[in-house]
Amino acid sequence: MARQSMLRVAVVGAGRMGADHVRRIQEVISGARVTAVVDVDAERAKAVAARVDGCTAYTDPVVAMAAADVDAVLVASPGPAHEAALLAAFARDLPVLCEKPLTPDAASALRVLEAEQKLGRRRVQVGFMRRYDAEYTKLARLLGTGQLGRPLLVHHRHRNVASPPGWTSDMLITDSVAHEIDVTRWLLGQEITAVTVLRPSPTANAPDDLQDPQLVVLETAGGAIADVEIFVNCGFGYQVQAEVVCERGTARVGDGHAMVTHMAGRWGGTIAQDYLERFAAAYDREVQAWVDTTRRGEVTGPSAWDGYAAAAACEAGVRALTDGVRTEVELAERPPLYG
Q: What is the secondary structure of 44-63 as a DSSP string?
A: HHHHHHTTSTT-EEES-HHH
Q: Is the pLDDT confidence value at 307 over 80? A: yes
Q: Is the pLDDT confidence value at 70 over 70? A: yes
Return the pLDDT at 325.
Answer: 98
- Across the beta sheet with 151-159, the strand order is 249-253, 239-246, 151-159, 225-231, 214-220, 192-198, 327-328
Q: What is the pLDDT of residues 200-228, one digit of tens each?
A: 999 999 998 999 999 999 999 999 999 99
Same CATH fold assignment for domains 7-130+281-303 and 145-275+310-334: no
Average pLDDT, whole number, for the chain?
Answer: 94
Q: Return the percentage of the chain with pLDDT > 70, whole number.
A: 96
Q: What value does the mean pLDDT take over residues 33-60?
A: 98
Please, are residues 226 and 187 in contact by the beta-carbon 8 Å criterion? no
Q: What value does the mean pLDDT take over residues 90-115?
A: 97
Return the pLDDT at 134.
Answer: 93
248: number of CA atoms within 13 Å, CB side?
Answer: 8
Indicate the domain borders of the chain.
Answer: 7-130+281-303, 145-275+310-334
Q: Is the pLDDT confidence value at 109 over 80? A: yes
Return the pLDDT at 252.
Answer: 93
Cis check: omega of the bond before 165, within 30 degrees of 0: no
CATH number 3.40.50.720 is the correct assignment for the domain at 7-130+281-303: yes
Return the pLDDT at 279.
Answer: 81
CATH number 3.30.360.10 is the correct assignment for the domain at 145-275+310-334: yes
Q: How confident is residue 4, by pLDDT bands cut at 50, 70 and 90?
A: low
Q: Is the pLDDT confidence value at 61 over 80? A: yes
Q: Is the pLDDT confidence value at 262 over 80? A: no
Q: What value does the mean pLDDT take over residues 258-273?
A: 71
Q: How confident is residue 293, by pLDDT bands cut at 50, 70 and 90?
A: very high
- Across the beta sheet with 124-127, the strand order is 56-58, 32-38, 7-12, 72-75, 96-99, 124-127
The maximal CA–CA distance of the chain, rounded, in angstroms, is: 65
Q: Is the pLDDT confidence value at 51 over 50? A: yes
Return the pLDDT at 127.
Answer: 97
